């Protein structure tokens, strides 16, 4: 793979930071620069060797030949028009947003060499202090080309993820959002709702089960508000599916239908066992 001259990462958090760090450590670029709202964040990123240069202003992305948006979904949408006036016409652009339909639709109009990415990696610990080179190793990264995607850009982004250790798979932005609304967004919403339901004074009786089930509720905040609003229809439908499944269990309890409850639990167990 041809080395990039200058890579710009807008949003130096867990994922943006891990990309920057991995690109630097693997020598995939001559220079990696980062943009962040917070000066402290940039200082830490520089000290940890995540980026070569950092700035609180977008001007630093000028001359980049690869630009990565790694902020929450809404911020990507907000920054994109300004960034498009700053970068070179032939700059390859990607983002790591957790939903793709809205982002791809906007960004592919602004950047001729854009292709959406979604690395299925990360954790609820969202900060550059947790960024690491191994973040994408053996993970899956979904790319979301459309009919306007240039093959050359697709191949370069694909190769970049491969070099960072990820396997890539192609989905349309619509397919991506539908699938992720089930395997990622719904579990998060279940965890948020579960946390809300459990009285705090009972926490001292919590064992691993509750902790595991709700671990991802720790990622609540701006990031997830954005994700949910950028995939409203899929998520809204899924919440109803989950509520229906809860109702099935509740009505089995009410009408004393042990066999039906047992069959629901058997299917759940069997599906979960096939997930590992």
Binding residues for a copy of itself restricted to 84-123, rule: CB under 8 A: 120-123
Q: Which stretch binds a copy of itself (CB under 8 A): 24-32, 34-42, 76-84, 237-245?
A: 237-245
Residue 182, C-beta contacts closer than 8 angstroms, at least 6 positions apart: 238
What single-letter DSSP state applies at residue 3? P
Binding to a copy of itself, residues 204-223 (CB under 8 A): 204-222
Of residues 187, 272, 171, 274, the one with CA closest to residue 238: 187
Q: Rule CB under 8 A: say whether 64 interacts with a copy of itself.
A: no
For residue 2, the SS3 value is coil
Q: Which stretch binds a copy of itself (CB under 8 A): 6-14, 22-30, 106-114, 254-262?
A: 254-262
Q: Rule CB under 8 A: say whether 127 interacts with a copy of itself.
A: no
Backbone angles phi, psi at 69, to 5 degrees: -85, 120
Q: How many residues at the interface with a copy of itself, by CB under 8 A?
A: 85
Residue 68 bridge partners (DSSP): 9, 94
Q: Rule CB under 8 A: say whether 62 interacts with a copy of itself.
A: no
Exactly one of 139, 146, 163, 168 binds a copy of itself (CB under 8 A); that residue is 139
What order do you get walking across the sheet with 92-95 strand by strand? 53-55, 29-35, 4-10, 66-69, 92-95
Q: Rule CB under 8 A: say whether 235 interacts with a copy of itself.
A: yes
Q: Rule CB under 8 A: say whether 138 interacts with a copy of itself.
A: no
What order do you get walking across the sheet with 140-144 strand by strand? 116-119, 140-144, 167-170
Exactly one of 40, 57, 138, 274 binds a copy of itself (CB under 8 A); that residue is 274
Between 152 and 181, how does the x/- string for binding to a copy of itself read (CB under 8 A)?
Answer: ---------------------------xx-
**Dihedral angle at the C-alpha atoms of 269, 272, 273, 276, nearest 10 degrees?**
-170
Q: Which stretch binds a copy of itself (CB under 8 A): 20-28, 86-94, 153-161, 238-246?
A: 238-246
Exactly one of 39, 109, 137, 240 binds a copy of itself (CB under 8 A); that residue is 240
Binding to a copy of itself, residues 34-53 (CB under 8 A): none
Of residues 173, 147, 144, the one with CA closest to residue 157: 144
Q: Rule CB under 8 A: say whether 125 interacts with a copy of itself.
A: no
Q: Rule CB under 8 A: say whether 134 interacts with a copy of itself.
A: no
* Residue 34: Cβ-neighbour burial (10 angstroms; 0-12, 13-18, 19+): buried
Question: Closer CB to a copy of itself, residue 57 or residue 254?
Answer: 254
């Amino acid at each position: 793979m041809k080395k990039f001259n200058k890579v710009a990462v807008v949003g130096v958090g867990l994922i943006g930071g891990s990309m920057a760090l991995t690109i630097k450590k693997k020598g995939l670029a001559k220079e990696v620069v980062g943009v962040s709202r917070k000066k402290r964040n940039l200082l830490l990123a520089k000290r940890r060797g995540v980026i070569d240069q950092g700035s609180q202003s977008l001007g630093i992305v000028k001359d980049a030949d690869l630009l990565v948006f790694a902020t929450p979904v809404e911020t990507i949408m907000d920054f994109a028009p300004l960034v498009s006036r700053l970068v070179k016409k032939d700059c390859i652009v990607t983002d790591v947003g957790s939903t793709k339909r809205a982002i791809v639709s906007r960004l592919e109009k602004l950047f001729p060499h854009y292709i959406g990415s979604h690395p299925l990696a990360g954790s609820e610990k969202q900060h550059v202090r947790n960024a690491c080179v191994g973040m994408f190793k053996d993970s899956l990264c979904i790319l979301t080309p459309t009919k306007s995607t240039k093959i050359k850009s697709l191949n370069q982004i694909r190769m970049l993820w491969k070099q960072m250790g990820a396997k890539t798979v192609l989905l349309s932005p619509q397919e991506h959002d539908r699938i992720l609304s089930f395997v990622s967004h719904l579990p998060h919403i279940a965890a948020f709702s579960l946390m809300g339901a459990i009285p705090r004074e009972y926490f001292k009786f919590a064992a691993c089960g509750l902790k595991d089930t709700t671990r991802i509720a720790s990622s609540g905040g701006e990031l997830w508000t954005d994700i949910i609003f950028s995939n409203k229809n899929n998520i809204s439908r899924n919440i109803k599916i989950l509520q229906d499944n809860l109702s099935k269990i509740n009505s089995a309890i009410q009408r004393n239908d042990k066999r039906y409850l047992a069959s629901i639990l058997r299917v759940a167990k069997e599906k979960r066992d096939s997930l590992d």
